[in-house]
Structure 1
């Protein structure tokens, strides 16, 4: 690592998701085969999500081809910028650039300056094709005309959660998996997170949800809702394979001190993609937008309970439940398909 060229050295850090956004980046689903025949209902849910999001902030919508662009334009309205970029899949949380900000030194300029970090993306440890997705940060930085820092190691945005005050959450299951960065231990990874995202203290949780092909991404488990408030998924069913790992994560969080920890139930009824594959249903995969929090729901008995838990945690924001019954067949939901672009003057250093 050349420390003189890292974001931390230049005063940049990743802000919390609730910091004001200039826009959100996401990508339109395509290829019915990839979606196992569910592309049409996936697009219906995705359109409802994007149209709701566009009520609160502009959207950069990545489209793969002419069919995708025409289909999206027929379903969507609002401040949406269409970006034709070839890509493998729609999970921009993991493939897209991660934005970092710093306080502006110019009195007449906006309060923050904006840059971005490019991490390597290898399809969640080589599970899926990722050659095109690995180029996504370069396209995003090129469109915006801003400086892109190259970290040089594998990292996925869904594996990280920050409070904007130097604390980050992640899981050992994901970051220490040998298919991502063999040879890098916790200390080395913490060094990269410090240099490129300004994370000073990493809280390591254990394992993620059964059926999660990302190997335990934090954004399906545990999220900050304020600098000192954490919401974490739990299962009250002792026979659920998720029960013990989630309880262990809860105990780690409760041992930290200085944080309020709020329990968030998993959906009551599991959904199976096939006889072998349980889908990683969770309410923690919400997306915090300007003025709103968009929460995945599944026509489950726990949907309303989850929304009632989350609403008081986001004063001043409208907490909205949106259907994700078909989107989850791809393994993720609203947080997985989004990447926030914070407000700030574009900096190209």
Structure 2
């Protein structure tokens, strides 16, 4: 056997969630983003029926603000960090039978675009709090760039993993070899571009997510003005050609902020022990997306929560969280 990253629906011991600390990153939406992330933490914890939630805050002042918003059972962890996107900066857990280890990757602020103090080593510091053996990878990689069904099948986008602002000396083959050694990759489905105006250069967790072994959920455009219609169609064709079964999820469609299309997506859901938390945006397809996901997660509540304020900072629920799978 080999160490391998499990599927997100495997049981968790806890989940880390980042809490906003820099108001400049959330212009006009800082307080609302804090409120929405706290609502995510509360829904995941579910008064103890869900899982342990460790809300990571940058300082004691932010800890006080967080405690005023979250349920009593949500833990507060003070660790300096710049941005909330722990999917990309926290360590990733791999399992091998009853053995568990962490993998901490290099991080360069999403290709040098958003470099904030604390983000460069938050992964190492969180890993140190667990006492688990940790492998340190020197190449740049973000957790939101891949998704897996737990069998060794992974999905990613060429736009992100092959972008020269991350690892210009690594080609497709070298990246697959590195992921095989670090996360247990055995089969990579390469999609093309991610969503329009995605600050991460097309992270796959905003485009395509596994909902079962060999089952890949993908958005489908339902309106003529959907800015990502061609991206969805290309991803669907690639997935089918790879032999993956595609589950069509209606897209939120065109969502504008200050006249610009933003990468709103139902795919940035998070699969917790007791609930699947899905970002919604007050769009006509919100309920349809929840209803389509429900059959794939029996026994879990499908919870739609507003995420528009979080999105103004560049991501949503999946982006700001990182799970600790159970052994």
TM-score, reference length from structure 2: 0.96
Contact 2:42 2:74 (8 Å CA) reproduced = no
Partner of 1:3 in structure 2?
A: none
CA deviations 1:160-210 (Å, max 9, x no partner) are 101110100000000000000011000000001100000101110000111
Q: Structure 1 residues 75, 131: CA separation in 2 closer, same or farther (over 3 Å shift)?
A: closer
Moved more, 71-80 or 307-316: 71-80
How far 1:113 moved relative to its partner?
A: 2.2
Matched, 1:156 2:142: yes
Q: Structure 1 runs of 4+ off > 3 angstroms? A: 236-241
Partner of 1:264 in structure 2?
A: 249
Contact 1:38 1:326 (8 Å CA) reproduced = yes
Q: Which residue of the other structure, out of 315, 318, 326, is the alignment partner of 1:332? A: 315
1:134 partner SS: coil
Aligned equivalents of 2:325, 2:247: Cα separation in 1: 26
Aligned equivalents of 2:204, 2:145: Cα separation in 1: 5
Q: Which residue of the other structure, out of 176, 189, 195, is the alignment partner of 2:175? A: 189
Contact 1:238 1:244 (8 Å CA) reproduced = no
Q: Structure 1 residues 78, 165: CA separation in 2 closer, same or farther (over 3 Å shift)?
A: farther
Moved more, 183-192 or 129-138: 129-138
CA deviations 1:106-145 (Å, max 9, x no partner) are xxxxxx2221001011111000114521201111111111
Contact 2:101 2:134 (8 Å CA) reproduced = yes
2:263 partner SS: coil
Partner of 2:284 in structure 1?
A: 301
Aligned equivalents of 2:242, 2:311: Cα separation in 1: 32
1:13 partner SS: coil
Moved more, 204-213 or 240-249: 240-249
Q: Which residue of the other structure, out of 251, 259, 263, is the alignment partner of 1:280? A: 263
1:330 partner SS: coil
Q: Equivalent residues in 2 for 1:1-349 (5 A)?
A: 11-55=2-46, 56-103=50-97, 112-257=98-243, 259-272=244-257, 274-275=258-259, 277-344=260-327
Contact 2:44 2:274 (8 Å CA) reproduced = no
How far 1:278 moved relative to its partner?
A: 2.3
2:77 partner SS: strand
Contact 2:11 2:325 (8 Å CA) reproduced = yes
Larger Rg: 1
Aligned residues: 324
Contact 2:215 2:245 (8 Å CA) reproduced = yes
How far 1:35 moved relative to its partner?
A: 0.7
How far 1:238 moved relative to its partner?
A: 4.6
1:340 partner SS: strand
Contact 1:118 1:151 (8 Å CA) reproduced = yes
1:284 partner SS: helix
Contact 1:51 1:78 (8 Å CA) reproduced = no
Extract unaligned runs of 5+ from structure 1.
1-9, 104-111, 345-349
Aligned equivalents of 1:150, 1:144: Cα separation in 2: 15
Aligned equivalents of 2:204, 2:225: Cα separation in 1: 22
Superposition RMSD on alpha carbons, in Å? 1.3
Aligned equivalents of 1:262, 1:35: Cα separation in 2: 33
Aligned equivalents of 1:233, 1:156: Cα separation in 2: 22
